[in-house]
Amino acid sequence: MTTRLPHRTISLVDQRAGAIPTRPAQPGSLPVPPARGAASQKGPLVDTFGRPLRDLRISVTDRCNFRCSYCMPKEVFDKDYAYLPQSALLSFEEITRIARQFVAHGVQKIRLTGGEPLLRKNLEVLIAQLADLRTPEGRPLDITLTTNGSLLARKAQALKDAGLRRVTVSLDGLDDTIFKRMNDVDFPVSDVLAGIEAAQAAGLGPIKVNMVVKRGTNDHEIVPMARHFQGSGVVLRFIEYMDVGATNGWRMDEVLPSGELIARLEAALPLVALEASAPGETAQRWGYADPSGKYDPQRGEVGVISSVSQAFCGECNRARLSTEGQLYLCLFASQGYDLRSVVRSAGGDAELAGAIRRIWQGRSDRYSLLRASLPPEAQSSGARRVEMSYIGG
């Protein structure tokens, strides 16, 4: 018997005000749960709260060419930062082998992340391997990729040709000064917009653009971003600044709750609430309204991901695989399960399939639901959570 988790609006309490970025410790590993008795190695899975496994996010590199303060601040990820050695990374064949077992267990969508995934050499080879996988019903997978857009203009067509279906581009503003300040490497917004245009021309769509909103930094860009992408076929999504990892100096007073964000948008661009497009979708959808107040599909839609102010743990169906083979069951986890050692052992696919099944069936993660009940010192003591740059967003 499983217990369903509720949706909950979270009381916003600043638990890490004044945090100073520090060099992150290497994430720890959890042992894979041992096998107990005979069990089927394939078929759909549910965790202890009845949540199915549908989405696998795979980090293909821990490197990035941006130094966004909310993800890889320059004062931590500097020229002396020790990235993972090549020998530690999963090979494309190992990634595909793991993905094949996840698909057998019910995964329907795979998202490639980083770091910046387009920095991984010959990524098109991996995409082609993943695109060849099929669900037990014989359907192709939804293969997607999240990128900062810096290399997208030159790679979009090759990605499409390899089998990539869609891309999500991170873009935190249209004002060049603000955007350069946030990426902290003086990268111009025009090059990211050119990448989005190239992705559209290649047929990598529908394209989504993710904007992380920090109050007092780029929140004045909300309406200009909405106006720019309205009617373009691009879906803009606003993401609350999250308390992920330990290096970004997260402060609650820099979080702009999605409710306030939508109110700002509605004052300029009338919106209509839309239903979720898929089970477990993290974004709340809002469509642009026509003069009569009805949703106009030609004008498009926006979404808000309320990672701080509202918990969506109850429908979370995602697992995250790090570039060195650690499996994380929550974006806010501090430890992962070492699948690399299973893949590189002599146990074969049956052992790998059983490990995935036991890990997911034992899953009880619900960090966002529990956040409000954590004592203030919980953010500054004990195990540090994994960095976003290590497992992707």
pLDDT in tens, 283-341: 899 999 999 999 999 999 999 988 777 767 888 999 999 999 999 998 878 889 999 99
Which residues make Cβ contacts (< 8 Å) with residue 191, sequence separation at least 6? 149, 150, 153
**How many Å apart are CA 99 and CA 50, to the nearest integer?**
22
- Tell me if 372 is assigned to some domain: yes
Question: Residue 18: its pLDDT value, please?
Answer: 43
Which residues make Cβ contacts (< 8 Å) with residue 377, sequence separation at least 6? none
- Tell me if 104 is assigned to some domain: yes
Say whether pLDDT at 139 is over 70: yes
Question: Residue 24: its pLDDT value, please?
Answer: 55
Question: Residue 380: its pLDDT value, please?
Answer: 41
Question: Residue 351: its pLDDT value, please?
Answer: 94
Give the lowest-confidence range in 64-68, 228-232, 332-336: 332-336
3-state SS, residue 328 = strand
- Tell me if 1 is assigned to some domain: no
Q: How many domains does the chain have?
A: 1
Cβ atoms of 368 and 333 within 8 Å: the answer is no
**How many Å apart are CA 53 and CA 361, to the nearest integer?**
10
What's the domain range around 87?
A: 8-391
Of 211, 374, 178, 219, nearest in space to 302 by CA = 211
Q: Compute the mean pLDDT over every residue in the chain, rounded to the nearest whole number.
A: 86
- Tell me if 98 is assigned to some domain: yes
**What letter represents residue 291's amino acid?**
P
Cβ atoms of 53 and 104 within 8 Å: the answer is no
Question: Residue 26: its pLDDT value, please?
Answer: 54
**How many Å apart are CA 231 and CA 312, to the nearest integer?**
28
Residue 373 confidence class, pLDDT cut points 50, 70, 90: low
Question: Residue 393: its pLDDT value, please?
Answer: 64
Cβ atoms of 320 and 102 within 8 Å: the answer is no
Going 205 to 392 to 181 to 257, the CA torsion angle's sign is positive
Mean pLDDT of 354-373: 84
Question: Residue 3: its pLDDT value, please?
Answer: 58
Say whether pLDDT at 220 is over 70: yes
Question: Residue 29: its pLDDT value, please?
Answer: 83
Place of tokens 């009381």: 11
**DSSP structure class, residue 75:** T
Mean pLDDT of 349-364: 95
**DSSP structure class, residue 46:** B
- Tell me if 218 is assigned to some domain: yes
**How many Å apart are CA 238 and CA 259, to the nearest integer?**
11
Residue 184 confidence class, pLDDT cut points 50, 70, 90: very high
Q: What does the block give as tokens for 104?
A: 């057998």
- Tell me if 3 is assigned to some domain: no
Going 258 to 193 to 177 to 115, the CA torsion angle's sign is positive
Question: Residue 370: its pLDDT value, please?
Answer: 73
Of 148, 304, 306, nearest in space to 238 by CA = 304
Place of tokens 């954590």: 374
Question: Residue 36: its pLDDT value, please?
Answer: 74
Tell me the DSSP string of 111-167. Answer: EEESS-GGGSTTHHHHHHHHHT-B-TTSPBPEEEEEE-STTHHHHHHHHHHHT--EE
Of 141, 173, 170, 122, nearest in space to 388 by CA = 170
Q: 191: part of which helix (H) or strand (E)?
A: helix 189-202
What percent of the chain has pLDDT above 70? Answer: 82
Q: Residue 341 half-sphere exposure, CB side, CA atoms within 13 Å?
A: 9
**Chain center to CA of 154:** 23
Question: Residue 384: its pLDDT value, please?
Answer: 62
- Tell me if 294 is assigned to some domain: yes
- Tell me if 133 is assigned to some domain: yes
**DSSP structure class, residue 5:** P
Say whether pLDDT at 15 is over 90: no
**How many Å apart are CA 301 and CA 211, to the nearest integer?**
14
Question: Residue 375: its pLDDT value, please?
Answer: 53
Residue 379 confidence class, pLDDT cut points 50, 70, 90: very low
Question: Residue 30: its pLDDT value, please?
Answer: 85
Say whether pLDDT at 11 is over 60: no
Mean pLDDT of 371-389: 55
Q: What does the block give as tokens for 327?
A: 């499996």
* Other Cβ atoms within 10 Å of 276 Cβ, number: 13
Cβ atoms of 52 and 46 within 8 Å: the answer is yes
CATH no. for residue 286? 3.20.20.70
Question: Residue 243: its pLDDT value, please?
Answer: 60
**How many Å apart are CA 217 and CA 195, to the nearest integer?**
24
Taking each continuous run of H as one helix and of E as one strand, the counts in the chain are 11, 15
Say whether pLDDT at 239 is over 50: yes
Q: What does the block give as tokens for 58?
A: 């795979």
Q: Would you say the pTM of this structure is higher than 0.75?
A: yes
